[in-house]
Structure 1
Amino acid sequence: MLDPVRQGTRTVPINHVTGRTGIAALLSEDVEVDERTSDVPLDTLIPQEYAVIARAVPTRRAEFATVRCCARQRPPVAACG
């Protein structure tokens, strides 16, 4: 069962069975989730990553850098199948 709960200034869902909140409450427990409330600097990107978003608007570049930072903090996972 999902119900909203306040976390700071935002309302996020909470799964009362698993105790997970936010986007994690909507996903199965075997899915890893990392969340940031602010963007990371663009200089955290490796050159190949920056090349992918070089022509994007600044907000998209910041979002991309944050997602890549979160992804690098997770351990590698074996491919499915």
Structure 2
Amino acid sequence: MGLVKSVRGCIILSVGIAGVSLVSTKNSREKLVHACSKIKTKTLNYWKKQPSEVVLLLEKAGHPNPYDIGDSRMIDEGSLTGIQYYNKIQ
């Protein structure tokens, strides 16, 4: 148990040293800030986009389009699953 605590401490110490060395120079600090801002904007754009896709799926579920081949195939496979289960029990 003591070894696990010492390994955890070494890992935390090495991450801290790497972080300090990363932000010690101005050029590295600017790169880090730029990378963090890019990650932040991508994450926010992903979360903003997702609810509209969920609403679109809910609208599609309520009113299926007969000309949507992929959706029709999924419905066909789903209807066969119940029939195959019933035949297997019989």
Check whether TM > 0.5. Answer: no
TM-score of the aligned structures, taking structure 1 as reference length: 0.24
Bigger strand fraction: 1
Bigger helix fraction: 2
- State the structure with bigger RCO (CA 8 A, min sep 6), 1 or 2: 1
